[in-house]
Amino acid sequence: MEKKGLLIVVSGPSGAGKGTVLAHTTEKYSNIKYSVSVTTRAPREGEVDGVNYFFKSVEQFEKMVANGEFLEHKRVHDNYYGTPLKGVQKHLLDGYDVVLEIDTEGALEVKNVYPEAVMIFITPEKLSTIEERLRGRATESEEQIRIRMKNALKELKQAVFYDYVIVNEDSQQGAKDIISIINAEKCKVKNNKKFIDNLLMEANNYDD
């Protein structure tokens, strides 16, 4: 069987609860690697360099862009974010399913260069939940919350370009949904061409 992993792109407005859904996904499904993005934004309380993000200066980020080190990169809110190419390629070849948690603009760029990517959009049931979660997090200023709400609406409009939508009413159920999607994708005929070809080769032995 072909061992190459799936590239899974997860987007959704800030405050949709993507992080929690993905954390539960890892508890239930181990063949998964998260791509650690590079960002120029300051670390939030408790965030660790190399775990949550690689935190870089604008100059360092621009150098990485010039060196072609990103699968995609974007300005989101007032900061730069990018997906390092090398790690993604390595994990896919090693047979892991790789999750990119990125904004819709970057996601559509990934889909362009990697059409096999599985696109999952996570949204809360109501828009007001986003605002409540952002306020509950207490890490953003009023101005940042305003920008993020505006951005949430922009992101929601892109949901139609995704393959799957998960309404995050319950993060454990959301994680189960992601695993169901992964399993369904793995059963797709287009992802099992080599296996079927091998069976057909074997079938030659049975021709009369």
Strand pairing class (32-34; 97-101) = parallel
Q: Supply the minimum distance, in Å, between the C-beta of residue 23 and ligand 5GP.
A: 14
Residues 6+ away with beta carbon under 8 Å from 30: none
End-to-end CA distance of the chain: 27
- Least Å from the CB of residue 190 to ligand 5GP: 26
90 vs 127: CA distance, rounded Å: 37
CA dist 18 and 3 (Å) reads 27
Quick check: 81 and 38 in contact, CB under 8 A?
yes
Residue of this chain nearest to ligand 5GP (CB atom): 106
The residues that touch ligand 5GP, with contacts defined as CB under 6 A, are 14, 37, 41, 72, 74, 76, 81-83, 101-103, 106
Question: Which of 146/194 has CB closer to ligand 5GP?
Answer: 146
Minimum CB distance to ligand 5GP, residue 25 (Å): 15
At closest approach, how far in Å is the CB of 186 from ligand 5GP? 25
Smallest gap from residue 72 Cβ to ligand 5GP (A):
6
Beta carbons within 10 angstroms of residue 44's beta carbon:
11
Which residues in 12-56 belong to E strands, given as ranges? 32-34, 38-39, 54-55
